[in-house]
Amino acid sequence: MQFFNFQNVFRFWLDKGVDGFRVDALKYLVEVEDVYGADEPIAQDSGITDPTQYYYLNHTFTINLPETFKITRGWYDILDSYDERFMMTEVYDDDISQIMRYYGNESYPISDFPFNFLLITKLFNRSDLTGTNLKNLVDLWMDNMPSGRWPNWVLGNHDNKRVSSRFGVDLIDALNMFILLLPGTPTTYYGEEIGMVDTYISYEDTQDPAGCNNGPEHYTETSRDPARTPMQWDESKNAVENSVEQSHLLVYKELAKLRLKKTFQFGKLEFQTVTDEVVAFMRSTVNLSNVSLQGGEGLVLLVEE
């Protein structure tokens, strides 16, 4: 009955004309009980000794269960019966192979793609932002993605500090270039196109349960409200970034135009010499063997001074 009701919910909104769905925290969809009443096993290698902490256990009964993939496939079948509809899934997991299961494969798709959070979960601050790390994280996704599926890239979201607060406002343009010119779909959390930064929120104004539950002394350690403020425009007509010759917004608009080119939609990806200071790649629709950056359209990104 629960599965049937979910199907009706999908059809209701699809009939209203929505383009698709973002399915949140999907790996927790189904839970089962052990037939012998056993608890989930202790995670022996976690180093966590407090049994109240989530990662104290291996959650073999509550995440990534076979029924979850069967149900999600049923939802995808519903979308597939409509024209040009889309489903992306939110799955955090340290095991890249578990994340890739939410793609399915060419003959049995589960979703259009699971969000690629590697640029969030593996890069915490400016010191992590090296050319080598960026290339390795791109390779990690591309090398593990099932054949025939479509990649995607996410720099920031509502669960984490803003990109400019993590890496510096001076790098926001270069990082937007990075995800918008790679193959696949870039996801931009609102405000990253204008370089928004985290904003101080007092405990009295805190709304996020993760912060409220931590109390006034420690709420800033867990509250996600600083990254969830309204758009940080000024009061002038059309906002400040449209009225200057160079701005984060104008750079973002030019990148959006570049993405209309077939090269950036479908061209092959090749990284050039990469160091901890520089990451460089080329997108090309020609044979990439023995071709330099001058032979195609590409990006050279200085990531550290």
40-49, 68-77, 99-108, 163-172: least confidently modelled range: 40-49
Run of H or E residues at 281 = strand 278-284
| Type of residue at 219 | Y
Is residue 38 assigned to a domain?
yes
The tens digit of pLDDT for each residue in 242-297 reads: 667 789 999 999 999 999 999 999 999 999 888 888 899 999 887 645 545 444 55
Q: Name the DSSP class of 23.
A: E
Bridge partners, 109 (sequence order)? 104
- Averaged pLDDT score across all residues of the chain: 90
Is residue 145 assigned to a domain?
yes
Is residue 56 assigned to a domain?
yes
For residues 101-106, average pLDDT: 96
Provide the domain limits for residue 135.
Answer: 20-265
The tens digit of pLDDT for each residue in 196-242 reads: 999 999 999 999 999 999 999 999 999 999 999 999 876 666 666 66
For residues 30-46, average pLDDT: 87
Residue 304, pLDDT score: 42
Residue 295, pLDDT score: 45
In the chain, the percentage of residues whose pLDDT exceeds 70 is 89
Given the residues 90, 198, 270, 297, the one annotated as active site? 90
Is residue 29 assigned to a domain?
yes
According to DSSP H, which parts of 43-130 are helical?
66-80, 96-100, 118-121
pTM, 2 dp: 0.88
Residue 24, pLDDT score: 95
Number of structural domains, the chain? 1
| 123: CATH | 3.20.20.80
The tens digit of pLDDT for each residue in 61-93 reads: 999 999 999 999 999 999 999 999 999 999 999
pLDDT for residue 193 is more than 80: yes
Is residue 280 assigned to a domain?
no
Is residue 82 assigned to a domain?
yes
Is 254 assigned a catalytic role? no
Given the residues 24, 143, 221, 234, the one annotated as active site? 24
Is 90 assigned a catalytic role? yes
Bridge partners, 37 (sequence order)? none
pLDDT for residue 4 is more than 70: no
Site of tokens 């979850």: 68
pLDDT for residue 113 is more than 80: yes
